[in-house]
Chains A and B, each alone.
Chain A
Amino acid sequence: MAALTNRIIKETQRMAAEPTPGIVARPHEDNVRFFDVQLSGPDGSPYAGGVFHVELFLPSEYPMSPPKVRFLTKIYHPNIDRLGRICLDILKDKWSPALGIRAVLLSVQALLSAPNPDDPLPLDVAEHWRSDEAGAIAQENSPPRVRAANAAMWTPYHDRPEWADVTPLTQDDGPAPVVQIQYTPRFQEVMDYLRAIIQKGEISERALALTEDAIDCNSANYTIWAYRRVVLDGLRAEMQKELEFTENIITDTPKNYQVWYHRQWVVERLHDGSAELAFTQRMIEADSKNYHAWAHRQWAVATFGLWDHELVALEALIEADPRNNSAWNQRWFVVRSTCRLDEPALLAREVQYAQRYIQQAPNNESPWSYLRGLFSSKGVGSFARCPELEAWARQLSVRFPLCVHAVALLVDMAAQSRSPAALEQALTDCDGLAEGLDPIRAKYWRHKRMALLEPLLARALAARPKQDSGSSS
């Protein structure tokens, strides 16, 4: 064991003393078997100019077994999968203890210069990737560089014999173009061929493949998507396959309107929304507040009647992050769509649900909004439906004196009830909010105070003649 560790120390020292161009490998402070590696893309390769983050781990059997190496930066390469795993013989059956860390990293770097398309990763890798997508997303950190590498790996259409019959159609920006984008050669050429093929009105497998390339260049181009739908329809393409395609593209560009619209279109064609809850769940795990993912989920739930487990699923999401306002909104949507809020027991259930999370974190706005929504015009319409609410909020404001939301709720309840005592208290509360609790909204609270004074003054004025006559007699 000692000898093995010696070898690791020796190799580490040698790498520090004789640095290799384009490779920086640093051992972790707390684990000398674990290396953070920065690999520069080799000059003249499609990856030139890129820096790729790689992790290298020496198993306890090292050097009898090979190091485990994985790309953390997402990279498009025929021998590297989307989890960053590398298909390289010396990391598997061709490993020899005579090789070392430096030799392995040099080989990985060489693989970038000379990809081996005849030895791609096996298909089951793709399957596994789908099952561990959240992990893969978490590792994505450099989309533009990935796109550049992807672009350079690709064969130009003018070199593809199957496209020889198509004359590319260029963009004509006129004599004085503005907001002109310096397109990459790949973008330019893909669009030149796309323009030509759309103008021909071609419906073919190659047209379908071309739209995929064009969507990879610009997934926000709604026209390309519209054309793709026509081609899919004309080819009577298998929609299940298209559903998988959308999942990949949404994973790459999750905040794009067009990809989500397309997903919806495909699901409608399939007449089957059963995969959508799990799919949006994966997207929400990657970004819990992705507006598009939530909109899609809402659409799927409503269209396919997937209400049964939605509240339970949402409870888990809210429990995991009570500040996830999107999840609270979805709860509102489900409750409003499936329950009658005017049933006292149900209203009480919802009030208590919000109160539980408020008590956990009194400054979390989401449950407060939810609670207040229950009594808004979109809910039961009046705070009078829950007489205990006022005392609860007052108590909370005493227990958590910095809780703006509790006092703000009391002010609005007073404004609604218009009871003189409550209004008097609300004036004091507005002062407290303006002067200390919520200074950023001080002007609003002063404005609110003036508005509350009106009913009090009106009441005082109405009472006045009586007092006058009493005093004069």
Chain B
Amino acid sequence: MASAAVEAGSAPIRPTFDFEKHARFFRHFLHHLPAAVEGFDSNRQMLLYFCLSGLDVIGALEKVITVEEANQIIEWMLACQITELPFRSPILPKLLASKPELNRALINDQVVSHCGFRPGPWLGHPFVPHANAPMHEFDTGHIAMTYSALCVLQILTTAHYQPQQAAAGTATTAPGGDVTHQAHSPLVGRPLRELVDAGAICRGVRALQLENGSFRGTCFPSESDMRFVFCACAIASMLGDWSCVDIDRATDFIVRSQAFDGGFAQEPGLEAHGGSTYCAVAALYLMGRLNRIGDRERLVQWLLARQVSGFQGRVNKDPDSCYSWWIGGALHMLGAADQVDARMLVSFIECCQNHDLGGFSKHPDTQPDVLHGYFSLAGIALYGPLMEDGGYPLRALDPALGITTRAAESLPRVLPPSS
């Protein structure tokens, strides 16, 4: 060991990663999440996205998830899709009967605006393996859950299962010797637009855009910012239908959110932030409007200036592994990834690697979690190949959609009509 360290004086030590262990980490959390993450109960689709996209990046998806399981996951997700059917038990009339003076703006009774994916079945609707009606006015999709769900569905439906493997889970031999399909036909392999009710999703997203161009997460009064502008654009791009975004307004909101130092903020006036800068750049990229950025040179400078070893998310903050994706992905879309010190970044990510459990943490020496696990892995996938001695056996990522290029390949990738 000592001699290796001495030799390293001339050739820097190559960061190493135990990807098999990381695959086990994601596989584990796919089923067992501790009570400590109860606060993520309203983000279960997102947790699922981290686990499955992580497995896809590692190239372990088909190895650790059988096709039967993949079908079951798709069914669980479809059960969370709200489609444009009337509320099963509307509560607004009841509320208004008891409290006629109630402010109607607080509760939305337009079914269309409820469409999209729920975070999970948390409001108690009975399980059905397909899209279904909202239970009542408070049962709504959330734009970030819809984005996460579409990513996961696209990953699973484009997974490469062997034909016999795919058939094994879906067909049985009937007494007469005929092969009959079970009640649930295979979902893996179907195009995304056939798996989901794309029209309902688009109309639902459209209903969330505000006058200022930003989007709310849900149809009742709630916060709106750059995160949801990105989600709307990613949904539009994945479904190949831009009718859900008023792109002029969205562009205007993004452009106005560029801060004086070049980075983008969650909304106009706020501080430039790595997460919102990713969302802004990816949304413009997906709309084919990167040329609308007022000061692109300062933006690239701001992004590159975030590298202190790993990337920090804001000026004068500590580096954090998740910005490997937010800052790193934005630089990829802007064509400036080659100006990053890739080895330094990957070495920082290595320091956040957890050797006992697998996964990665926010900072070196803290506990790993699936979010930082996934974004660290994404950073290695983005920047490993830019190291002098080459990358790692990971699948390439699409920096704008947040899924592997393999998963993204079959998507229509339509730009909005130019205006």
Contact = CB atoms under 8 A, between A and B. Distances in A.
Interface of A: 144, 169-184, 187, 191, 195-196, 198-201, 203, 217-223, 225-227, 229-230, 233-234, 236, 257-258, 260-261, 265, 289, 291, 294-295, 298, 302, 323-326, 329, 332-333, 336, 364-366, 369-370, 372-374, 376-379, 408, 439-444, 447
Contact of A372 (B47, B221, B261, B266): B261
Given A174-B127, A258-B222, 8 more contacts: A172-B127, A174-B79, A182-B35, A200-B91, A233-B99, A298-B269, A370-B261, A443-B341
A221 B305 CA distance: 35
B290 interface: no
Contacts of B316: 323-325, 364-366
B95 interface: yes
A146 B301 CA distance: 44
A443 B270 contact: no
Nearest to B71: A176
Contact of A234 (B39, B79, B99, B315): B99
Nearest to B48: A179
Contact of A443 (B98, B124, B136, B339): B339
B106 to A, nearest CB: 5
Contact of A179 (B44, B272, B298, B315): B44
Contacts of B294: 377-378
A364 B91 CA distance: 56
B222 A226 contact: yes
B24 interface: no
B138 A332 contact: no
Nearest to B271: A329
Contacts of B308: 440
A44 to B, nearest CB: 20
Contacts of A174: 75-76, 79, 121, 127, 129
B125 interface: yes
20 contacts: A174-B76, A178-B31, A179-B31, A181-B44, A182-B34, A195-B123, A198-B123, A201-B95, A203-B98, A203-B99, A221-B42, A222-B217, A226-B218, A233-B99, A332-B259, A365-B316, A366-B316, A372-B261, A443-B340, A447-B339
Interface centre among A171, A187, A329 (most CB of B within 10 A): A329
Contacts of B344: 440
B39 to A, nearest CB: 5
B51 interface: yes
Interface centre among A234, A408, A442 (most CB of B within 10 A): A234
B249 interface: no
Given A172-B121, A325-B315, A332 B95 contact: no
A223 B123 contact: yes
10 smallest A-B Cβ distances: which pairs? A373-B260, A201-B91, A174-B127, A176-B72, A369-B261, A329-B271, A325-B315, A195-B124, A234-B99, A444-B339
B63 interface: no
B140 interface: yes
A312 B21 CA distance: 53
B338 interface: yes
A179 B30 contact: yes
A366 B315 contact: yes
A173 B121 contact: yes
A364 B121 CA distance: 48
Contact of A261 (B122, B222, B269): B222
B29 interface: yes
Contacts of B307: 440-441
Contacts of B269: 298, 302, 333
B271 A441 contact: no
A218 B41 contact: yes
A336 B268 CA distance: 12
A442 B341 contact: yes
Contacts of A191: 122
Interface string B45-67: 00110010000000000000000
B305 A365 contact: yes
Contacts of A221: 41-42, 122
Contacts of A377: 294-295
Interface string B19-36: 000000000011111111
Interface of B: 29-44, 47-48, 51, 69, 72-73, 75-76, 79, 89, 91-92, 94-95, 98-99, 101-103, 106-107, 120-127, 129, 135-136, 138, 140, 142, 217-218, 220-223, 258-262, 266-267, 269-273, 294-295, 298, 301, 304-305, 307-309, 314-317, 336, 338-341, 344
Contacts of A374: 260
Nearest to A404: B305
A370 B260 contact: yes
Contacts of B142: 222
Contacts of A441: 304-305, 307, 339, 341
A220 B39 contact: yes
Nearest to A441: B304
B333 to A, nearest CB: 17
A69 to B, nearest CB: 30
Interface centre among B95, B220, B261, B273 (most CB of A within 10 A): B261
Contacts of A233: 99, 102-103, 106
A177 B76 contact: yes
B314 A289 contact: yes
Nearest to B219: A226
Nearest to A169: B124
Contacts of B295: 376-378
A120 B374 CA distance: 47
Contact of A226 (B102, B220, B266, B309): B220
A184 B39 CA distance: 12
Contact of B260 (A200, A220, A227, A332): A332
A222 B36 contact: no
B136 A201 contact: yes
Contact of A291 (B51, B222, B266): B266
Contacts of B267: 295
A226 B138 CA distance: 8
B341 A440 contact: yes
Contacts of A324: 316
A295 B266 contact: yes
A162 B138 CA distance: 24
Contacts of B336: 444
A246 to B, nearest CB: 14
A196 B316 CA distance: 47
A422 B397 CA distance: 41
B47 A223 contact: no
A196 B341 CA distance: 54
A198 to B, nearest CB: 5
A286 B77 CA distance: 40
B125 A172 contact: yes
Nearest to B127: A174
Contacts of B103: 233
A259 B26 CA distance: 30
Interface centre among B39, B120, B135 (most CB of A within 10 A): B39
